């Protein structure tokens, strides 16, 4: 079965420092990978996706993610964190065996301190 794992429940970063939110995946076939962000009591917002092409994907709000096939990872990164980046981040993979629905990871709470 397709799945994604986010090994960290929480990530703490100082404002201005680089941030990384980790995600690993397990799929059969080519992976379609996504990152979403959720602010408190809000729905999810799309950040970026990897379908094919360049391994480094650039997305919204200065975020980017690197697809690494050998490590089956799709870590989310940002060179300089902002306090406003504090939110819940979800990695997701498209389940090509079940009509293409998205399977979400358990989420990582990012906290950026001034």
Among residues 27, 57, 67, 107, which is the contact residue for other proteins, using CB under 8 A?
107
Q: Is 58 in the site for other proteins (CB under 8 A)?
A: no
* Count of residues touching other proteins (by CB under 8 A): 23
Partnered with residue 75 across adjacent β-strands are 66
Least spacing, CB of residue 53 vs other proteins, in Å: 13
**Which residue of 84, 106, 111, 113 would you call a contact of other proteins, by CB under 8 A?**
106
Contact 95, 101 (CB under 8 A): yes
Q: Which of 46, 55, 62, 97 binds other proteins (CB under 8 A)?
A: 46
DSSP code, position 60: G
49, 56, 83, 114: which one contacts other proteins (CB under 8 A)? 49
The contacts of residue 43 (CB under 8 Å, 6+ apart) are none
Q: What CA dihedral angle connects 69, 71, 75 and 77, to 10 degrees?
A: -90
> What letter does residue 25 receive in the DSSP assignment?
E
Q: CB of 86 within 8 A of CB of 110?
A: yes
104 binds other proteins (CB under 8 A): yes
Binding site for other proteins (CB under 8 A): 9, 32, 36, 41-46, 49, 51, 88, 90, 94, 99-102, 104-107, 109
């Amino acid at each position: 079965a397709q799945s994604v794992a986010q090994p960290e429940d929480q990530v703490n970063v100082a404002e201005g420092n680089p941030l990384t939110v980790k995600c690993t995946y397990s799929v059969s076939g080519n992976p379609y990978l996504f990152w979403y962000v959720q602010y408190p009591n809000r729905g999810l917002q799309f950040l970026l996706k990897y379908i094919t092409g360049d391994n480094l994907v650039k997305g919204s709000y200065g975020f980017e993610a690197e697809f690494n096939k050998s490590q089956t990872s799709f870590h989310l990164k940002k060179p300089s964190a902002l306090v406003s980046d504090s939110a819940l981040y979800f990695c997701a993979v498209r389940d090509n065996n079940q009509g293409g629905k998205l399977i979400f990871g358990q989420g990582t709470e990012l906290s950026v301190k001034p």
